Structure 1
Amino acid sequence: MDKSSGLIGGIVGAAIVVAVFGAFLLPTQIEPEIIETESNIPSAIGQSSQYTKELSLVEIFEKSEPGVVRVNVQRGESESSNGVGSGFVFDKKGHIITNAHVINDATKVIVTFLDGRSYNADIIGYDEFTDIGVIKVNADLKLLHPLTLGDSSNLKVGEQIAAIGNPFGLSGSMTAGIVSQLGRLLPSGSGFSIPDVIQTDAAINPGNSGGPLLNMRGEIIGINTAIQSTTGEFTGVGFAVPSQTIAKIVPNLIAKGEYNHPWIGISGRDIDPDLAKVLNLNDAVGFLVVTVVDDSPASKAGLRGSEDIISVDGINYPKGGDIIRSVDGKEVRKIDDILIHLQRAKSVGDEMILEILRDGRTTNVTITLEERPNGN
């Protein structure tokens, strides 16, 4: 997936047809923008595996199916506003993880377990910026089979995976495939984008939203979230939010119903070969700051945006802004590297050191991260 500029702390990527599915199927043309508890999480994620050896697909399904649920939602009185998604049991207290877009604005949520028993669920909280939601049921303990989170940071392209969910309402369906790519940037519909997303070719369709993506040890390494499609149905490219993000977001949703994302407050564009030539750079790497949001962490730290426009062969290029080369010592090749670092390693109130190129000289700027504002 190509990347584009946007407001850091979430950035809208290049044009892509993404069908966000679950309660509704929404094939949406996303245009480029310049904007800006107690659980089954191991204490050291990925070091405590439920299974120590790889399993067959049959074994994975048999061990995981009891922990996967169907999520029916009602929005208002119209039948057309009802929908179905998936979810999985998180702990013995009845917390269930699903997608935010499955449950947001729902007036009623019903969870159905493997044996057919259904329960009304309470919405505990959801985070639209990562499309993760938590609901809770007061169900028979015998029905609660928590699934274990694996370590998505250990995934490799080509690794075999499996997905379980309720495509088109067909409960308990399993599909298999491979990890097609890692570190994708996925528009979330919130004005920001989800970083570090897993791409897979496992068949994922409307109704799979919120279901688990599993590795061959039967551990959850992602939550199925979206597909790239012109029809709204599976065409070979699906996306899942990684388990590392789940492990960071879910405990906060359970504890306080929300997660506060860190925010920088800049917009800009990746350095491509044409822009590098215009700016007299040796390498096409880094991120050019075009706009700094007023009263943002970036503004308070003194970051500078572009003040000039230069036209070359009829194309306008921004010029004069800071170029971010690294964050906390990690190289920035493009905006994805900043977003992934924010998602994985940073929280509101943390400091982050940016190495920037300004007026031909390299310098460091320290930013104190603040809470991302709601909306676009």
Structure 2
Amino acid sequence: MFTNAGKQLSLLLSGALLVALGYIAGNSHTPGAIIAQSEIPVLNPQEQQLADIYNRLSPSIVSISISEPFGAGFEEVSGGSGFVLDKQGHILTNYHVVHGTSSAGRIVVNFIDGTIVRATVTGEDANSDVAVIQVDLPEERLFPVIFANSDHLVIGQSTVALGSPFGQKWTMTTGIISALDRAITGLNNYQIGAVIQTDAAINPGNSGGPLLNLNGEVLGINSQIISEERLNSGIAFAVPGNLVQRVAQELINQGEVNYAYLGIQGDDIDLDIIENLSLPNNTRGVAITDFSRRSGVSPAQQGGLQLDDIITAIDGQPVLSFGSLIGYLSTWTTPGQNVRLTILRAGQTFDLDIMLGQR
């Protein structure tokens, strides 16, 4: 999201840059010089690929502005980005982009072809920082995105971000996947797992826009950055596309998302845990440090889990970090479902079947 103050700052910086470039260009002019220029842009294959992605995807990307009543009119108070999900006019964005809009406020959606239309909120989910809004437009004017399988991503894979940083609509930036299976804290203090880390330039206003691969497929939805000054620092996070799709479908169908609940607190394996529990120094997994007690005995305790147990796999999928465990539970499980956890306890490995509760 961006504020009016942040937008003003970015415009001032842009203006200074333009003045500097104009000064240099003006002083480098040589009267009477003839410079030959190609009339056809020459792009290398990678540049052409990026240009093709921009041209193909930009009609699917929207700029979102939130306005509230002010005096006799409206004042823009915040904004972000989004992208078209389906032909019914559903648009994906971040929860934090649209949450808090008053009943008298306006959610205004801008398309690259100049279309400007109001949107209504279909559903919001603070747990994943995902929201679905809807616009009323004919099907032929809506261009839904295609999702990649976010479980099959690779560190080093190229990424493309499209959005409206500081209100600069339809801006493209590029980078790579810097890390996978990160865990970030959502707006209600629940953690979001299996998060994608990228070094593509992400700034306030990119929130809600897509993170893409070089096929133009959505890997995730840009959500957070690590920065002391709310500016790009090369560390940005996107909610994984598989989770986004699950959340969007439930918001559209029932207006809320029902998450499964294991009821543990855990840490990634570190040196202290290895030494305190006498573990092999190449142990990977999640160490159970406590149980959630909000409603008595947690599903994990009921299923036989104990403090200091190490969860090394869930349903046969390796658990390499707390982020990967949360990601699996959030994306692929529902309340009442049984999962099989592989446990390392006192040097012995075994399986436990746990019936999940509801978060």
Q: Do the aligned partners of 1:163 and 1:214 also contact (CA within 8 Å) in 2?
A: yes
CA gap of 1:333–1:141, structure 2 versus 1, over 3 A, is closer
Tell me which residue corresponds to 1:313. Answer: none
Tell me which residue corresponds to 1:103. Answer: 98
1:366, distance to aligned residue in structure 2 (A): 1.6
Q: Do the aligned partners of 1:23 and 1:85 also contact (CA within 8 Å) in 2?
A: no
Rounded Cα–Cα distance in structure 2 between residues aligned with 1:212 and 1:192? 22
CA gap of 1:88–1:330, structure 2 versus 1, over 3 A, is closer
1:300, distance to aligned residue in structure 2 (A): 2.2
Larger mean CA deviation between 271-280 and 123-132 belongs to: 271-280
**Aligned residue type for 2:289:** V
Q: Do the aligned partners of 2:181 and 2:321 also contact (CA within 8 Å) in 1?
A: no
- Per-residue CA distance 1:203-239 (angstroms, 9 max, x = gap): 1111111111121112112111111111111111111
| Unmatched tracts of structure 1, length 5 or more | 1-20, 27-52, 306-320
**Aligned residue type for 1:120:** R
Q: Do the aligned partners of 2:279 and 2:347 also contact (CA within 8 Å) in 1?
A: no
Percent sequence identity over aligned pairs? 37
Query: Which of 134, 145, 154 in structure 1 is aligned with 2:152?
Result: 154
Rounded Cα–Cα distance in structure 2 between residues aligned with 1:144 and 1:348? 34
**Aligned residue type for 1:93:** Q
Indicate whether 1:93 and 2:93 are aligned.
no
Tell me which residue corresponds to 1:301. Answer: 303
Q: Do the aligned partners of 1:22 and 1:210 also contact (CA within 8 Å) in 2?
A: no
Rounded Cα–Cα distance in structure 2 between residues aligned with 1:298 and 1:76? 49
Three-state SS of the structure 2 residue aligned to 1:186 is: strand
Three-state SS of the structure 2 residue aligned to 1:56 is: helix
CA gap of 1:359–1:81, structure 2 versus 1, over 3 A, is farther
CA gap of 1:200–1:123, structure 2 versus 1, over 3 A, is same
1:338, distance to aligned residue in structure 2 (A): 1.8
Indicate whether 1:330 and 2:317 are aligned.
yes
CA gap of 1:227–1:242, structure 2 versus 1, over 3 A, is same
1:145, distance to aligned residue in structure 2 (A): 1.5
Tell me which residue corresponds to 1:366. Answer: 353
1:94, distance to aligned residue in structure 2 (A): 0.7
Q: Do the aligned partners of 1:96 and 1:134 also contact (CA within 8 Å) in 2?
A: yes
| Unmatched tracts of structure 2, length 5 or more | 7-44
Within 5 Å, which residues of 2 pair with 1:204-223? 204-223=202-221
Q: Looking at CA atoms only, which structure, 1 or 2, has the larger radius of gyration?
A: 2
Rounded Cα–Cα distance in structure 1 between residues aligned with 2:255 and 2:5? 25
CA gap of 1:336–1:63, structure 2 versus 1, over 3 A, is same
Q: TM-score under structure 1 normalisation?
A: 0.75
Tell me which residue corresponds to 2:122. Answer: 124
Does 1 or 2 have the higher relative contact order (CA < 8 Å, sep 6+)?
A: 1
Tell me which residue corresponds to 1:50. Answer: none
**Aligned residue type for 2:93:** T
Three-state SS of the structure 2 residue aligned to 1:189 is: coil
Alignment size in residue pairs: 311
Within 5 Å, which residues of 2 pair with 1:182-201? 182-201=180-199
CA gap of 1:128–1:170, structure 2 versus 1, over 3 A, is same
1:95, distance to aligned residue in structure 2 (A): 0.5
Three-state SS of the structure 1 residue aligned to 2:214 is: coil
CA gap of 1:160–1:291, structure 2 versus 1, over 3 A, is closer
